[in-house]
């Protein structure tokens, strides 16, 4: 089932008006070209002026003319999206940064916010959620997601993350998760739980 990124929606008058009065430059750094291009198109239709890149090196080149907003994937081919938060913030202290990842967990969310990100979204995030996170002002917490991950999916993502952090070592992952090795192997052998 394809995800609605909102790429076919017209620019709302409110966004069009805001664009005339406000810097809407946006950097997207994501090594998944299909996702990056889909989100870039959808956010351009919402009034953002988008520069889309696929690596840490390309994103760092943008600090010469830093954007007002940034959407950074946690995992990039040549490094980690968190490496970009500091340099972008140093180049432009008022930048609003959202970090995206397919491996959602609390520790990474805390690290992203400590580095200076305003929000953290698990992939696949749609253009509505990204725009809302980028432009939400005056709230300590972003609004709840309209379609949050299920508890099964959150558990699966956490197990996958720990497995990756243990260099895909099943025994070490099972020990750290306090789980029987065979139980872990069964979980790892299954696909991610489907989201409705």
pLDDT at 71: 94
Can you give the length of the chain in residues? 196
Domain shared by 160 and 64, yes or no: no
Domain shared by 105 and 169, yes or no: no
What is the rounded average pLDDT of the residues 174-185? 89
Q: Which of 65-69, 85-89, 141-145, 178-182 has the lowest mean pLDDT?
A: 141-145
Domain shared by 87 and 176, yes or no: no
In DSSP terms, 101 is beta-bridged to: 122
Domain shared by 123 and 160, yes or no: no
The pLDDT tens digits of the residues spanning 70-124 come to: 999 888 888 888 889 999 999 999 999 998 876 555 667 677 777 888 888 877 7
| pLDDT band with cut points at 50, 70 and 90 for residue 195 | low
Domain shared by 24 and 121, yes or no: yes
Q: Is residue 6 part of a domain?
A: no
Residue 167 maps to which CATH number? 1.10.10.60
Secondary structure of the chain as H, E, C letters: CCCCCCCCCCCCHHHHHHHHHCCCEEEEECCCHHHHHHHHHHHHHCCCEEEEECCHHHHHHHHHCCCCEEEEECEECCEECHHHHHHHHHHCCCCEEEEEECCCCHHHHHHHHHHCCCEEEECCCCHHHHHHHHHCCCCCCCCCCCCCCCHHHHHHHHHHHHHHHCCCCHHHHHHHHCCCHHHHHHHHCCCCCCCC
Domain shared by 44 and 121, yes or no: yes
Give the Cα separation of 137 and 141 in Å (integer).
Answer: 10
pLDDT at 10 over 50: no
Q: Is residue 2 part of a domain?
A: no
Domain shared by 105 and 157, yes or no: no
Q: Is residue 49 part of a domain?
A: yes
- Pairing verdict, β 25-29 and 75-76: unpaired
Q: Is residue 39 part of a domain?
A: yes
In the chain, what is the greatest distance between 2 CA atoms, to the nearest angstrom?
Answer: 59
Kindly report the backbone phi and psi dihedral angles of residue 94, in degrees, each rounded to the nearest multiple of 5, phi listed first.
Answer: -90, 10
Give the Cα separation of 98 and 135 in Å (integer).
Answer: 10
Domain shared by 61 and 124, yes or no: yes
Domain shared by 168 and 129, yes or no: no
Domain shared by 18 and 87, yes or no: yes
Q: Is residue 104 part of a domain?
A: yes
Residue 84 maps to which CATH number? 3.40.50.2300
The pLDDT tens digits of the residues spanning 11-50 come to: 444 344 333 448 899 999 998 888 899 999 999 999 999 9
Domain shared by 161 and 73, yes or no: no
Q: Is residue 20 part of a domain?
A: yes
pLDDT at 181 over 80: yes
Domain shared by 178 and 123, yes or no: no
**pTM reported for the whole predicted model:** 0.62
Q: Is residue 7 part of a domain?
A: no
- Pairing verdict, β 79-80 and 75-76: antiparallel
Domain count along the chain: 2
Q: Which of 96, 191, 98 is nearest to 153 (CA)?
A: 191
Q: Is residue 193 part of a domain?
A: no
Q: Which domain holds residue 47?
A: 13-135
């Amino acid at each position: 089932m394809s995800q609605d990124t909102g790429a076919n929606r017209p620019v709302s008058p409110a966004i069009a008006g805001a664009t005339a009065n406000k810097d809407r430059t946006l950097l997207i750094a994501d090594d998944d070209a299909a996702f990056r291009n889909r989100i870039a198109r959808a956010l351009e239709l919402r009034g953002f002026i988008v520069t889309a890149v696929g690596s840490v090196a390309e994103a760092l080149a943008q600090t010469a003319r830093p954007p007002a907003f940034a959407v950074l994937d946690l995992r990039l081919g040549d490094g980690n999206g968190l490496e970009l938060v500091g340099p972008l913030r140093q180049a432009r202290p008022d930048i609003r940064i959202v970090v995206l990842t397919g491996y959602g967990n609390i520790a990474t969310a805390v690290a992203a916010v400590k580095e200076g990100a305003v929000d953290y979204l698990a992939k696949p995030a749609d253009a509505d959620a990204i725009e809302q996170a980028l432009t939400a002002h005056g709230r300590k917490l972003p609004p709840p997601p309209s379609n949050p991950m299920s508890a099964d999916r959150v558990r699966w993502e956490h197990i996958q993350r720990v497995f990756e952090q243990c260099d895909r070592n099943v025994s070490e992952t099972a020990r750290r998760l306090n789980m029987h090795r065979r139980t872990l192997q069964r979980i790892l052998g299954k696909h991610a739980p489907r989201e409705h």
